[in-house]
Amino acid sequence: MFRLKLQRHSSRIGKMEKNKYFIGIDGGGTKSSGCLINSEGNIRALGETGPTNYIQKEEPVIIERICTLVESLKEKAGISHEKPAAVVAGLSGLGSEKPRVRIKKLLEETKIAEKIMAVSDAATALEGAFAGEPGAILIAGTGSIAYGKNTGGEIFRAGGWGYLLGGEGAGFDIGRNGIAAALEDWDGRGEKTILRPQLEKYFKVSEINEAVPEIYVNYTTRGALAQFARFVFAAAQRGDKVAEKIVADAAKRLAEHIIALAPRLDKEKKIQLALLGNIFKSKKMLLPAMQQCWMEAACKIEVKEPLFPAEIGAVLLAQPKPGSLFMKNLITSAKTVKKSQPNNA
């Protein structure tokens, strides 16, 4: 049961008023999602736009996409001529203060809302997962990062250093390791693995060595290589020893993110943890090994489903005291919206 008294946030926006609207945005490297919520906690509109990762995209593109998404949400909600009380943009790539200040300034210049906040996507995901309560999230998509809040409201992170310096246990890491294992099999340097024919199939080549120039020319993005992770999980399910080892190593590296955070969170209490990102679609294969790592490190972890997605978490960051009625309506509204989504039909 979540307590409805939310944690304070130093940069949260002033008191809520009736007939006000709040927009939250979760900006990622593949797409960006937004929601418009009124001051009573009812979700009035949902929408999507292209990627708004600060590291990947130019500033004018990011600002244009956010503004377009805001206008689209207002139109869907039937309030095209009203200015939202707040727009909170939680974007990937805003892990440090300088880019956050920059995006906030650029958005303020557009005058799209009375107040603007720019934060990292991890901050909004954490806020949404536990509605402001203490806890931790572990995100594993193309890359990986852990983010946690203790009972004092202090925020800590581990990982999130990008695919060149980090991303352990996430899609790019698993995909690249799977491809490398297939090539080692072809060389005769590694164990036999069904990843080899899977690699030929994925890259549509008759011989695995033909895949290499294809990778360097047409599959240069992190996402393209991360997509191969699904073949690694499939091979592990079929009992392929090489794939099983890659998955086990990924689970260990992901678990280490939380082990690193745990001493800075609540040592004596069980830490509630939400697992987010596409890699955890295969959490049945990852979680047992992760739990074993936590047990060996004497970490008390309770894995829970996130209460809200990151775009709703962004709205919660704008609310100093939303109140129990707001939260009750929001929970009901979010459940209704989730049931109406196509993949939940």
Query: Average model confidence (pLDDT) for the chain?
Result: 89
DSSP-based three-state secondary structure for 38:
strand
pLDDT reading at 187 higher than 80 = yes
Instruction: Among 142-151, 194-203, 268-277, 312-321, name the one with the lowest average pLDDT.
Output: 312-321
Residue 26 CA to residue 312 CA, distance in Å, equals 9
Q: Give the helix ranges, DSSP H, for the chain.
A: 59-77, 97-110, 121-130, 162-165, 171-187, 195-203, 211-218, 222-226, 229-237, 241-261, 283-296, 310-317, 323-340
The alpha carbon torsion through 71, 342, 120, 278 (nearest 10 deg) reads -150
For residue 174, what are its two tokens?
């698993």
List the one residue out of 143, 142, 225 whose CA is nearest residue 183: 225
pLDDT reading at 76 higher than 80 = yes
Q: In sequence order, what are the beta bridge partners of 90?
A: 26, 119
pLDDT at site 71: 98
* Residue that is written with structure tokens 């039909």 in the block: 345
Task: Transcribe 73-94 into DSSP letters.
Answer: HHHHHT-TTSPPSEEEEEETT-
- Of the segments 93-97, 105-109, 330-334, which one has the largest average pLDDT value? 105-109
pLDDT tier at 7 (50, 70, 90 boundaries)? very low
Residue range 156-176: mean pLDDT, rounded: 92
pLDDT at site 211: 85
For residue 295, what are its two tokens?
């047990």
pLDDT reading at 9 higher than 60 = no
Residue range 230-259: mean pLDDT, rounded: 98
| CATH domain 162-303 topology | Nucleotidyltransferase; domain 5 (3.30.420)
Alpha carbon of residue 155 to chain centroid: 16
List the one residue out of 11, 79, 71 whose CA is nearest residue 42: 79
* Residue that is written with structure tokens 């006000």 in the block: 20
Instruction: Among 11-15, 113-117, 177-181, 287-291, name the one with the lowest average pLDDT.
Output: 11-15
pLDDT tier at 339 (50, 70, 90 boundaries)? low
Residue range 221-225: mean pLDDT, rounded: 80
Residue 179 CA to residue 174 CA, distance in Å, equals 9
Q: What is the pTM of this model?
A: 0.84
Alpha carbon of residue 304 to chain centroid: 15
pLDDT reading at 330 higher than 60 = yes
CATH 3.30.420.40 positions along the chain are 21-131+307-344, 162-303
Instruction: Among 192-196, 224-228, 266-270, name the one with the lowest average pLDDT.
Output: 266-270
Share of the chain above pLDDT 90, in %: 72
- The string of pLDDT tens digits covering residues 240-253 is 999 999 999 999 99
Share of the chain above pLDDT 70, in %: 91
Domain covering 21-131+307-344: architecture:
2-Layer Sandwich (3.30)
* Residue that is written with structure tokens 């979010």 in the block: 334
List the one residue out of 60, 117, 124 whose CA is nearest residue 92: 124
